[in-house]
Homo-oligomer: A and B are copies of this chain.
């Protein structure tokens, strides 16, 4: 009897033990959202990357992610990295003052400036914004007709510049910037928003003119790029984060976020992640992180800020966030990010980019807020 008991205990221990052991591969994945986010940041900091310069849009997106993670988590590792980056870049945006991409990085400078007096030099940001928006230039008198004459002629621009402008307006109290932002935002909206599909064309090439050579997916659908729409709805959340509650045009932005969220909910893949071609998922039938991360961020932000019904949308982002987490490897690298581009293309387990990590951090930050409010 004693022997049987002992043997039973032995087997029980073995089972427990083997269960623990075979579970090891799972355990190597990071267990905690906050830790997963920190690991993503640490990995990215150890693998700096740029397309044009350390202040280009790719880093702009990434450091927007760090800024938001810093605000939400208060973990000083984010702020430390942001300060190091800003100092090295002398708090300058990239040089092309007509190109929305090049001001994206200033979002992080604006954030760092709120953490300590006299540390950040915001003059280069102001100079850039003034040349882009205020001083006479070839877009100031523009009526929004055609690519050549629209300041923000591609939907990505709505993530790159407007959140910076809204933030700058908030910190300086100068409403003029917000008003000019709204003018240009509406031009882009009129140009690229598809009222039927409730999604944005990436640029005029993808807006159907009813001509025989309108660009179509193989299945006959219009081309709606996942990341392109991520730029728009992610940008909306960041704009609304800084726009005064009583701003006269605020409702437009809130409604646009809700409209897009409703549409995105309909076309979410059952595995939680969106495909790079939103209406032709079969083109590249795997989840993609940069678009899905931005969607998750924006929808979670919408729930957290009372724009979206929690019961209806929490399952969307919970599923998406779990799937996003599974795209991160044990070292912290966030994979399945579509490379730099301007239309739907595939990704892979090993395709990483700083802006993918940025989208991951934005999503994770709002998921932390959402979970904490449970």
Q: Which residues of A contact B (CB under 8 A)?
A: 3-4, 6-11, 13-14, 17-18, 20-21, 42, 45-54, 75-77, 80-81, 83-84, 87, 116, 119, 350, 352
Q: Which of B3, B18, B54 contacts A17 (CB 8 A)?
A: B18
Docked CA distance A293–B37 (Å): 31
Q: Which of B4, B10, B83 contacts A50 (CB 8 A)?
A: B83
A57 → chain B, closest Cβ, in Å? 15
- Copies assembled: 3
CB nearest neighbor in B for A333: B77
16 new A-B contacts at CB < 8 Å, known A9-B11, A50-B83: A3-B3, A7-B7, A7-B10, A10-B10, A13-B18, A17-B21, A20-B21, A47-B80, A47-B81, A48-B84, A49-B80, A49-B83, A50-B84, A54-B84, A75-B350, A76-B352
| 23 pairs, A vs B, C-beta closer than 8 Å | A6-B11, A7-B10, A10-B10, A10-B14, A14-B17, A17-B17, A17-B21, A42-B47, A45-B46, A46-B46, A47-B77, A48-B80, A48-B84, A49-B76, A49-B80, A49-B84, A50-B87, A51-B116, A52-B119, A54-B84, A54-B87, A75-B350, A76-B352
> Known contacts A47-B77, A80-B48, A84-B50; is A13 also within 8 Å of B14 by CB?
yes
A350: chain B residues within 8 A (beta carbon): 75
A11 → chain B, closest Cβ, in Å? 5
**Interface contact B42-A46, CB-CB below 8 Å:** yes
Docked CA distance A137–B116 (Å): 30
Docked CA distance A85–B81 (Å): 16
A259 → chain B, closest Cβ, in Å? 36
A119: chain B residues within 8 A (beta carbon): 52
Docked CA distance A361–B116 (Å): 28
CB nearest neighbor in B for A352: B76
A49: chain B residues within 8 A (beta carbon): 76, 80, 83-84
A7: chain B residues within 8 A (beta carbon): 3, 6-7, 10
A76: chain B residues within 8 A (beta carbon): 49, 352
A75: chain B residues within 8 A (beta carbon): 350
Docked CA distance A10–B9 (Å): 10
A80 → chain B, closest Cβ, in Å? 4
A18: chain B residues within 8 A (beta carbon): 13, 17
Docked CA distance A53–B80 (Å): 11
A296 → chain B, closest Cβ, in Å? 25
Docked CA distance A233–B46 (Å): 33
A21 → chain B, closest Cβ, in Å? 7
A368 → chain B, closest Cβ, in Å? 16
A21: chain B residues within 8 A (beta carbon): 17, 20
